[in-house]
Structure 1
Amino acid sequence: MNKIVYFTSPGGDEMAILPRAELEALQDAADHAGALAAYRGGKVPGLTVEQTKAFVEAPSPLAFWRKFRGHTQAQLAAEIGIAQNYLSDLENGKRTGDVALWLRLAKALDLPVETLVDDAD
């Protein structure tokens, strides 16, 4: 384990400096714990082997979860108030959309918003 340096900021806050690898390991552990809690809490369903394969092969998490929830692009787009071709562009990574849009998508699909966003994004 690398050395962590503790200090007090000029404002009186206790701070720590740690190596980037350790920070990233802590972030990964927190992400994993959050995903596990979402699964255990029923917010994200478990997937079968076939569904997992479909998830990996989907162009994006959004595309997978839309299909998983039984929506067509036209249905989901209408529900959240966007054009179907815009949703297609989101699913295929051609457009990004703003945070409010992703929150509407998450609500419509009854999933945490982070479930819809690819880690590479």
Structure 2
Amino acid sequence: MNEMVTIARDEYDRLQAAAEDLANLQAYDRAKAALVAGEQELIPSDHVNRLLNGENPQRVYRDLRCMTQTILAEKAGVNRVTVAEIATGRKQGSISTLRALADPLEITLDDLVE
């Protein structure tokens, strides 16, 4: 059956706004639940700004995790010089090396690659 209902434009606009508000609240609830479950994390705005300004992601996340190049290299099983060369842009690093670096930084490979 195809029934139609006619309502005033004001009422339609009000219902549309209420539906958008509900969708926003549901998105907020999902985001909060993901934070509580440890599926997402909050990143301080200064670190986000550094990423947005094009700073090397490895350097930003190392700073966020309070790691030196040496500590990251040890945890990743990678040479410290390689870590430094990737951080300065002298080398891109292989996929396996970048994956090894991403794990101790607790980020995805996508987060590490610009």
Q: TM above 0.5, one fold?
A: yes
The partner residue of 2:74 within 62, 71, 78 is 78
TM-score (norm 2): 0.58
Measure, in 2, the Cα distance between the counterparts of 1:62 and 1:95. 12
Number of residue pairs aligned between Structure 1 and Structure 2: 80
RMSD over aligned Cα, in angstroms? 2.2
The partner residue of 1:50 within 41, 46, 50 is 46
Identity of aligned residues (%): 21
Structure 2 unaligned regions, length at least 5: 1-30
Higher helix share: 2
Do 1:43 and 1:112's aligned partners in 2 also have CA atoms closer than 8 Å? no
The partner residue of 2:93 within 90, 97, 104 is 97
Moved >2 Å (runs of 4+)? 40-59
Higher strand share: 1
Structure 1 unaligned regions, length at least 5: 1-36
TM-score (norm 1): 0.55
Larger Rg: 2
